[in-house]
Structure 1
Amino acid sequence: MSIRDIVEGKKQWRAHVARVKALPPDYRIVYQEMQRYLFKVGPTDLVDGGLLPGIVDFFEEGVAAGKGVLEVTGTDVAAFCDDLIKGTRTYADIYQESLTR
């Protein structure tokens, strides 16, 4: 990984954070909780993948449609996150495998 890749990655992350900050407060709170949850148990390629920007896209569509955040995600946000990462290798899977060894 070169310095240029690191700088580009930081630019992309800052742009992502700016998009999150532009969301209404209820969407922003739910996004931050989802991000915390996904960083804890989420897919191993979370940072490199498009999951987090995809969530922001989805939330921006919900805002544009005039929906509340729980209308978009449902009342069980953890289940919504679990559905998003279904079928992908997660840190929780790695931890479970280490316990069974």
Structure 2
Amino acid sequence: MTIRDLIEGKKEWRAHMARVKALPKDYQIVYREIQKYLFKVAPVELSDGTDLISGIVDLFEEGAASGKGVLEVTGQNVAVFCDDLIRVSSNN
């Protein structure tokens, strides 16, 4: 990995986090908890995890644009939502 790769990765992460900060507050809170859970539990490489996390932001942006609450998107049990994401991403 070169310095250029590190810089590009950092730019991408900042852009990703800017998207998260643009979400409604309840979505941001649940996103941070999902992120912590996935980084601790998920058996995925960081590059795969980044795609997974970006997909979550996409889903959350769609839910917020539709006027749904975050738990309408994830379901009441966010841990089960995370486990399902891990299972689906492991099968791909």
Q: TM-score, normalised by structure 2?
A: 0.91
Identity of aligned residues (%): 67
Determine the C-alpha separation between the residues in 2 that align with 1:65 and 1:43: 32
Structure 2: 5+ residue runs without aligned partners? none
Determine the C-alpha separation between the residues in 2 that align with 1:32 and 1:14: 15
Q: Deviations over 1:40-77 (max 9, x none)?
A: 101321x2021000000000000011000000000000
Partner of 1:78: 79
Determine the C-alpha separation between the residues in 1 that align with 2:15 and 2:54: 10
More helix by share: 2
User: Which stretch has the larger CA shift, 35-44 or 55-64?
Assistant: 35-44
Partner of 1:28: 28
Partner of 1:93: none
Determine the C-alpha separation between the residues in 1 that align with 2:10 and 2:62: 25
Alignment of 1:1-20 (within 5 A): 1-20=1-20
Question: What residue identity is the alignment partner of 1:39?
Answer: F
Structure 1: 5+ residue runs without aligned partners? 90-101
Q: Deviations over 1:9-67 (max 9, x none)?
A: 0000000111111110000000000001001101321x202100000000000001100
Partner of 1:59: 60
> Runs (4+) of structure 1 moved beyond 4 Å?
none
How many residues are aligned here?
Answer: 88
Q: Which has the larger radius of gyration?
A: 1
Partner of 1:68: 69
